[in-house]
Amino acid sequence: MLTGTLSILNPWILAGLAILPAVWWLLRITPPPERHMTFPPLRLLADMYPSTITPARTPLWILLLRVLILALVLAGLAGPVMDARLPAESRRPLLVVVDTGWAAAAGWQDRTRALNTVLDDAASLSRPVQVVATTLRPGESYPAASPPGSAADARAWLRRMAPAPHHPDYAAFAAWLNRPGTVPDAVETLWLSDGLEHPEQDEAAMLLQQRGPVTVLLAPPTRTAVLLRPPERTATGIELTARRPDDGQLPPRTLVARGLDRNGTVRVSRPLTLTAGTTEATITLDLEPDLIPLVTRLDITDPGGIPLGAGAVQLTDDRWQRLPAGVVTRGDNSLPLLSGSWYAERALAGSLTVYTGSVTTLLARRLSTVVIPGGTIPDSEVEPLSQWVDHGGVLIRFADTALAERGDTALLPVSLRTGGRFMGKGLSWQEPLALAPFDSTSPLSGLTVPDGITVSTQLMAHPGPETESRTWARLRDGTPLITGLRSGAGWIVLIHTSANTDWTTLPLSGLFPVLLDRLAGLGAGTAEAAARDTPLPPWQVLDGYGQPVTPGAGVKPLPAATETPGTRITVGPEHPPGWYGIPGNRQALSLATRTTAMDARTRWPDGIRVQTAGETAATRMASGLGPLLLGMALALLLADSLIHALPAVRSCLLQGLRRTGAMLALMVLLPLVSATRADAADNPDITDALDTRLAWVATGDVDIDILTESGLQRLTGALALRTSAELAKPRRINPHTDTLEFYPLIYWPVGPGAVGVPTQTRDRVARYLERGGLLVLDGRHPDNAAALRTVMASLDLPPLRRMPEDHVLTRSFYLLPNLPGRIAGADVWIGEQAARGEGVSPVIAGSADWAGAWASDRRGRPVLPMVPPGERGRELALRSGINIVMYALTGDYKADQVHLPAILERLTQ
């Protein structure tokens, strides 16, 4: 029953109802069409005295039907709307606030679809609508906003809106709300939020609540923003870390990480999975070192290629290339393993092109980094090194005994204490100290400090505020280990311990090359390229979706290095992410840094209603009756056409009514029958009862479930190619809730940490086995035997015994010595056959990882290696799977003596 206020969108159409009397009169005087008869003589004699009489006028009930059809058409075109939710007094103007920052790109389509539904409702209620963005355009002080107008005007304004490649500016938005005359005092606000915390957001929410009720519309959990952290170069490729906000709803999400060259060609891609409940995921894009410089763009997209915004893109520039670095060598290097230059050279060689020599020789080259493994710097080399650093070079110095004893005052980030720190012998103490984790504000943030790294000797810095602000790494006792200072366009870095193993074990660890690579990446490429006295003009920038576009007129060049030394450019309307500069001197500006915050907004002010964009029913404010009326008119018109085509109905009112009632009943029941069939098609129990398919138990571990599903799909395809068993797609089941009896075989992988099943599930599995099902329990590895025993102990299984060599499983289709899987030599156990009252075992258990051997990717390539290696073993594992399925489908018929001669003949071949 519909209750509420009835509105008419096009009331002038109702004037057409005035012609209904004329239509009545016209239909009344119009006789039905003449009756057509066949001419054969017998038919002529038979119809000479007809049993029925054709009426001279249209019957009254047909006349009423046709007038009703016309009335329904006119009423439907008039656009009646039944408002069943909002009271009439609450139809105030609608203010639509759209977060157009980078984080809105991921769920933009979902939220705009929901907003279009709201605009349809606003149009039906004739509500004024105003749309405003929360980001600024270049050169603007206030966000762009449409004037209050109709829903059609707002829709046109919305089509021109798009996400921006930077953060929203809620301070400017709050200032816009405070401007007189911008927003009426009594409005209803619909806020399309990106779901993240932003500065000044609370003030804006308070101002909106002062003007009326506020509803926040969020993107679905699978469409939230994803942030791509700056990449790290590793020995095997490029390491990427993706992060999503913790909004309390963290479902599993599969994305794609890609590396593209300057032509947009994808050089490498890999799936990246954010498991349920996690906010970060890290993967490595495997690339040869020579191919890494070709990658100019790293991004993350949805599997369907849907862009996730500028925050999911990292751009690279000249600094990402294989940069040249120099290591200063002095004196006698006859004992390389005792030389700090030997350790530094090999640590940098994995990611940079390394040259060695004196300071004078190295500065004659175009270098990005110079490493001095120890000692003091002669006065004649101080000035050339200082100028080189000011032009963008990175100078990395290590401490040693000479620097501690004689000291240096130039080209050091902090002042040093003479004599250092010592106990017992010079510059040493008895208990070596470990490294402390890197602070989030340090340029080394994100690097993991492995266990086992100790420092036994350290060069101390004078304590003070400057030392604290310049400290990038510390020991466990808080003393500085790495300090750095910006000098011009470059950096001066001091590592307060030796480059060899005299004072520390750091050069022997995997952290050492990664640490030096991160420090070398602080530079701006070669010092000559970084020495720019003029601003860098924008060359190509990113839009809000992360796609490259031509810079607009409002985009400003990056300031010259001489104007803002040491200043990091903030991404905003005037400096969007992209590439700036000219060929040979091009700098990339990305939105996300290692310290970019990405916190979900989980607490909203009291009184604000929060809903998800997928909740379309909640966003509907009115129900249009026009489609319903037009549909009824169409149904009656179809009924009239059917009636007109039946002469018997036109000749007799009673018979016509009977047939018309049947037609109407058929029209009513047919959609119900179709809906019932559709429900049946959507019901997995019904489809599984009609199709034969394998089933597998979901463990909750994404990796295990993906491998199991892929393996059973490969096995199903092999069965169709090699046997007459054509099975449907394997089904993922939950043994606690799903019906088990539809599946001849259930594959149950057991992962590490598996626990026993509840009593109800145990009873369900027992009934399944009693009714003829086959359960395959796979522990996946012999080391997982404890977890497999835990699951088996919680199930009501028959006694198990080791599978004999002559068991029918070894010859149910292929002749095999046993049931090999991915793990060779794993034992296989079978249930006692008496449990089923026949010669078929209900349970097969083992740790051979059969599904792991079958699993393949989309190109048909194996996913996991065989143990021991060998593709012959993978073929035997696939044959084992075919034997198991054929055993489940046909039982032990191969055990019949009639097959023995054929089997013996096959064995002799």
Alpha carbon dihedral 8, 12, 14, 19, in 10-degree steps, equals 180
- Average pLDDT score over residue span 213-238: 84
Distance CA 397, CA 375 (A): 9
Q: Is the pLDDT of residue 617 over 50?
A: no
Q: What percent of the chain has pLDDT over 90?
A: 26
pLDDT confidence tier of residue 528, bands split at 50, 70 and 90: very low
The chain-wide mean pLDDT, for the chain, equals: 80
- The pLDDT assigned to 566 comes to 39
- The pLDDT assigned to 5 comes to 54
Across 186-200, 451-465, 557-571, 723-737, least confident range: 557-571
**Structure-model confidence comparison of residues 540 and 112, the more confident one:** 540
Residue 431 CB burial class (10 angstroms; 0-12, 13-18, ≥19): exposed
pLDDT confidence tier of residue 412, bands split at 50, 70 and 90: very high
Across 363-377, 393-407, 515-529, 616-630, least confident range: 616-630
pLDDT in tens, 892-909: 765 655 555 555 555 455
Give the SS3 label for residue 819.
coil
- The pLDDT assigned to 562 comes to 40
- The pLDDT assigned to 424 comes to 32
pLDDT in tens, 337-371: 678 899 999 998 877 889 999 998 999 888 889 99
Q: Is the pLDDT of residue 885 over 70?
A: yes
pLDDT confidence tier of residue 782, bands split at 50, 70 and 90: confident
- The pLDDT assigned to 529 comes to 45
CA angle 339, 487, 390 (to 5 degrees): 85
Distance CA 484, CA 470 (A): 5
The residues, any chain, with a CB within 8 Å of residue 348's CB and separated by 6 or more, are: 325, 327, 354, 369, 371, 513, 516, 517, 520
- The pLDDT assigned to 111 comes to 80
pLDDT confidence tier of residue 840, bands split at 50, 70 and 90: confident
- Average pLDDT score over residue span 629-645: 77
- The pLDDT assigned to 194 comes to 87
- The pLDDT assigned to 678 comes to 46
Across 128-142, 405-419, 893-907, least confident range: 893-907
Name all domains of the chain by residue range, CATH numbers in brackets.
5-84+626-673 (no CATH), 88-223+600-621 (3.40.50.410), 225-321+541-560+569-599 (no CATH), 332-524 (3.40.50.880), 687-907 (3.40.50.12140)
In terms of DSSP H, where are the helices of 78-127?
Answer: 108-124
pLDDT confidence tier of residue 879, bands split at 50, 70 and 90: very high
888 backbone φψ class: left, alpha, beta (φ>0; ψ -120 to 50) = alpha
pLDDT in tens, 663-674: 666 665 555 545
Distance CA 639, CA 633 (A): 10
- The pLDDT assigned to 680 comes to 45
Q: Is the pLDDT of residue 481 over 90?
A: yes
- The Cα-based distances of 542 to 132, 309, 816 in angstroms read 22, 9, 60
Residue 514 and residue 238 in contact, taking contact as beta carbons nearer than 8 Å: no
Across 452-461, 505-514, 625-634, 696-705, least confident range: 625-634
pTM over cut 0.85: no
**Structure-model confidence comparison of residues 899 and 759, the more confident one:** 759
pLDDT in tens, 17-70: 777 777 666 666 565 555 555 555 555 555 555 555 555 566 777 778 877 888
